């Protein structure tokens, strides 16, 4: 009898916890929106939403790639460096026209991803370590290619960075399109399904004949390309290439968005909707603190706390 009631209480608590893990990020976004609507002056203006959306776009794009990596039971620490590398390449090859320059920047991201993926899939290096090496080398390479900040004067790039269609900035449109695309890939393609299976149980995936190595390499290539896209967009928005600071701590923001969004670090599950909400949540949190004149240091501390809380909550799920 006692056993039964006890069981029910824990079951209820578990269900509540599960619900919170599942939808907590959306709840957080709603709460922050409400709080800001009430307490922050001029929060409900189109201009403000536009700014917020533009600011969150690069983080979101990187986070999409990170979600893939984390879903495969890995992580990609090189994303920030890939952003830097892409901005360097972009500046360097802008002379050949923006189209080619962007292409080369994206190829650069793909190559870093390929290197990461090969180290992980063929050599069997742990993802943290492999991507750490490329994180160091990537930023160095970016700085070697472009030692200091350089202005980017190109009308096409400027249009990409600050133009809009129907009042929605291109940057935001691209981020949204990529989110939909990645969501579709995860849900509906063999690649997405294989990726989840590999993240959940690699031996089982291997014995089921899935192309584990190919999928893993593709994951990191995707992550690299997405980070490069983010780098290009950020460059276009700033109209400058700054390889020494662009993408700094980006890996952290991206991981935070993914983890806060409810994707477990243990792999096997990817929540794209949650990742979008996670990125938005962090952005809103930052804005809230800034708009209320709290110094950036507070934002950093708050972000640190949010990460730990999110991982802590996800841990409960792991323990079933």
Partner 1 sequence: MLSVTGLSKTFPGVKALSSVDFTARAGEVHALIGENGAGKSTLIKVLTGVYQPDEGEVTYDGAPVRFATPLQAQHAGISTIYQEVNLVPLMSVARNLFLGREPRGRLGLIDFRSMHRGAEEALRDLGLSVDVRRPLRELGVGAQQMVALARAVSVDARVVIMDEPTSSLEPREVRTLFGVIRMLRERGIAVIYVSHRLDELYEICDAVTVLRDGKVVHTGRIAELERLRLVALMLGREIADVRQEGLTKFAGGHDTEAEPVLEAQDLTVRHHLHGVSVSVRPGEVVGLGGLLGSGRTETAKAIAGALPTDSGRVVVAGVPVRTGSTPAAIRAGISLLPEDRKAEGIVPGLSVRENIALAALPGLSRFGLVDEARIDRIVETFMERLRIKAASPQQKVGELSGGNQQKVLLARWLAMQPKVLLLDEPTRGIDVGAKAEVQKLIDELAGDGLGVLLISSDPEELIEGSDRVIVLKDGAVVEELTGDAVTEDRLMRAIAGASTATATTAAATVTAAAGEDTGPGGLDD
Partner 2 sequence: MTTDVDIPVHAKDTTEEETAGAGRSERLSALAQQHGALVTLLVAMAVASLSFDTFLTGDNLENMALSSAFLAVVALGMTYVIITGGIDLSVGSLFALGGVLAAWASPYGFVAALLLPLFVCGLIGFVNGLLIARSRLAPFIVTLASMLGARGILLSITDEGSTTYLVGKGSFFAKLGQGSLLGVGVPVWITVVLFVLGAVVLRRTRFGQYVYAVGGNEDAAALMGAPVARTKISVYTLSGLCAGLAGALNAAWLASGVTILGSGMELDAISAVVIGGTLLTGGFGFISGSLVGVLLLKVIQNVINQIGSLDSAYQQVVSGAFLAVVVVAQTWLGRRRRVL
Q: What is the binding site for partner 2 (CB under 8 A)?
A: 75, 119, 123-126, 128-130, 132-144, 147, 203, 248-249, 252, 255, 259, 265, 295-301, 303-305, 307-308, 311-312, 315
DSSP at 42? T
Contact pattern for partner 1 over residues 25 through 54, marking x by CB under 8 A: ------------------------------
Residue 188 in the binding site for partner 1 (CB under 8 A): yes
Residue 126 in the binding site for partner 1 (CB under 8 A): no
The window from 40-48, 165-173, 197-205, 234-242 that contacts partner 1 (CB under 8 A) reads: 197-205
Smaller CB separation from partner 2, 167 or 312: 312
**CA 23, 286, 75, 246 torsion: positive or negative?**
positive
Query: In this structure, are residues 260 and 280 in contact, taking their beta carbons and an 8 Å threshold?
Result: no
Residue 213 in the binding site for partner 1 (CB under 8 A): no
Smaller CB separation from partner 1, 73 or 242: 73
Question: Shortest CA distance to 110 belongs to which of 3, 229, 12, 237?
Answer: 229
Which of partner 1, partner 2, none interacts with 143 (beta carbon under 5 to 8 A by kind)? partner 2
The window from 23-31, 50-58, 205-213, 235-243 that contacts partner 1 (CB under 8 A) reads: 205-213
User: To 5 degrees, how large is the angle CA 15–CA 16–CA 18?
Assistant: 60
Residues in the chain: 320
In whole angstroms, how far apart are CA 254 and each of 1, 103, 230? 47, 23, 11
**285 backbone φψ class: left, alpha, beta (φ>0; ψ -120 to 50):** alpha
Query: In this structure, are residues 239 and 161 in contact, taking their beta carbons and an 8 Å threshold?
Result: yes
Binding footprint of partner 1 on the chain (CB under 8 A): 3, 188-191, 193-194, 196-197, 200-201, 203-211, 268-269, 320
């Amino acid at each position: 009898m006692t056993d039964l009631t006890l069981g029910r209480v824990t079951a209820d608590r578990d269900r509540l916890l599960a619900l919170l893990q599942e939808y907590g990020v959306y709840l957080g976004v709603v709460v922050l929106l409400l709080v800001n609507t009430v307490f922050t002056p001029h929060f409900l203006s189109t201009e403000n939403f536009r700014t917020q959306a533009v600011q969150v776009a690069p983080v979101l794009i990187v986070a999409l790639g990170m979600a893939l990596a984390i879903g495969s039971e890995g992580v990609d620490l090189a994303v920030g460096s890939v952003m830097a590398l892409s901005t360097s390449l972009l500046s360097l090859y802008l002379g050949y026209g923006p189209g080619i320059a962007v292409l080369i920047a994206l190829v650069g991201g793909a190559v870093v991803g390929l290197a990461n993926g090969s180290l992980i899939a063929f050599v069997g290096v742990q993802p943290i370590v492999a991507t750490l090496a490329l994180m160091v080398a990537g930023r160095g390479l970016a700085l070697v290619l472009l030692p200091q900040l350089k202005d980017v004067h190109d009308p096409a790039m400027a249009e990409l960075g600050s133009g809009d269609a129907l009042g929605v900035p291109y940057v935001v449109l691209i981020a949204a399109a990529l989110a939909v695309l990645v969501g579709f890939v995860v849900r509906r393609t063999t690649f997405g399904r294989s990726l989840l299976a590999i993240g959940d149980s690699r031996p089982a995936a291997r014995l089921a004949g899935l192309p584990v190595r190919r999928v893993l390499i593709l994951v990191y290539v995707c992550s690299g390309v997405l980070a490069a896209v983010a780098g290009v967009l950020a460059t276009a928005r700033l109209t400058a290439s700054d390889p020494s600071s662009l993408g700094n701590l980006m890996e952290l923001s991206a991981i935070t968005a993914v983890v806060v969004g409810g994707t477990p670090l243990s792999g096997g599950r990817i929540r794209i909707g949650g990742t979008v909400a996670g990125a938005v949540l962090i952005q809103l949190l930052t804005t809230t603190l800034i708009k209320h004149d709290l110094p950036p240091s507070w934002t950093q501390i708050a972000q640190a706390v949010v990460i730990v809380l999110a991982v802590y909550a996800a841990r409960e799920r792991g323990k079933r």
